[in-house]
Amino acid sequence: MHQESAMLYMQEIWAHEQRVSKEKSEGRRSGGGTGTRGPAAVGKRRRPRVIMWPSLAATKLPKTQAEPEYTDLHFVDVEIMDSGQMDWATTRGLLDSGSQGSCVNKALSTNTLTNHHEKRIPTTMIIVDGYDSPAGPITQCNPVKIRIAGHEEQLALDTASLSHPIIL
């Protein structure tokens, strides 16, 4: 709504300047032409421009209340296989969650994957409120081969308590 008001305001300014320009060219406005000072210099203003209303820079725009914006979560079909398996297991992975690493859910890791490794240095997961995860540090990872849309890649997934099977 405030953009429309600003546009109308700018149109009024333009129309006013057009009227002033026309009046000057017809000689109905003072400040131009020849006088005791000589001819008016082209392109120079003798006095500051004064407008009858406040400038757009000083005009307060109406306040609008911010609304929360949510985007859809992005999922991808993922096939995973570790070194102890011969077949691919299919699940869904959450993409671009803001996580600093790729993780697998503890249940999926326990039920589907067999190649579990202890991490040399446990990783503390810091959640959105800035505190350490109540689930404790991440102590295990699963080296797997993942396949997404035919593309295969080796990846080590941290084992953590998650609400999604895989976070990439």
Q: How many CA atoms lie within 13 A of 9 on its CB side?
A: 17
Report, as an integer, the average pLDDT of 99-123: 87
Q: What is the pLDDT of residue 36?
A: 47
Give the three-class secondary structure for 2: helix
Q: Are residues 21 and 97 in the same domain?
A: no
Q: Which two tokens stand for residue 108?
A: 């999926």
Domain ends where: 12, 34, 67? 67
What are the DSSP E strand ranges found in 44-88?
74-81
Q: Are residues 78 and 22 in the same domain?
A: no
Q: Are residues 81 and 158 in the same domain?
A: yes
Q: Are residues 50 and 105 in the same domain?
A: no
Q: Are residues 97 and 158 in the same domain?
A: yes
The total number of structural domains that make up the chain: 2
Where in the sequence is the domain holding 122, given as residue range(s)?
A: 74-167
Band of residue 45 on the pLDDT scale cut at 50, 70, 90? low
The 10s digit of each residue's pLDDT in 61-106 is 677 777 887 778 888 999 999 887 788 999 999 887 677 788 899 9
Q: Which two tokens stand for residue 7?
A: 């546009």
The amino acid sitting at 167 is I
Contact call for residues 145 and 82 (beta carbons, < 8 A) = yes
pTM to 2 decimal places:
0.56
Q: Are residues 78 and 159 in the same domain?
A: yes
Whole-number Å distance between alpha carbons of 131 and 145: 32
**Domain of residue 115, CATH code:** 2.40.70.10
User: Whole-number mean pLDDT of the chain?
Assistant: 79
Q: Are residues 35 and 96 in the same domain?
A: no
pLDDT of 147 above 90: yes
Q: Are residues 161 and 119 in the same domain?
A: yes
Domain ends where: 48, 67, 86? 67
Q: Are residues 101 and 35 in the same domain?
A: no
Report, as an integer, the average pLDDT of 44-68: 67
Whole-number Å distance between alpha carbons of 133 and 128: 9
Domain ends where: 45, 67, 89? 67
Q: What is the pLDDT of residue 67?
A: 81
Q: Are residues 63 and 89 in the same domain?
A: no
Q: Are residues 42 and 91 in the same domain?
A: no
Contact call for residues 127 and 158 (beta carbons, < 8 A) = no
The amino acid sitting at 22 is K
The 10s digit of each residue's pLDDT in 123-144 is 888 887 888 888 888 899 999 9
Q: Are residues 36 and 105 in the same domain?
A: no
Among 100, 97, 112, CA closest to 142? 112
What are the DSSP E strand ranges found in the chain?
74-81, 89-95, 103-105, 117-123, 138-148, 151-160, 166-167
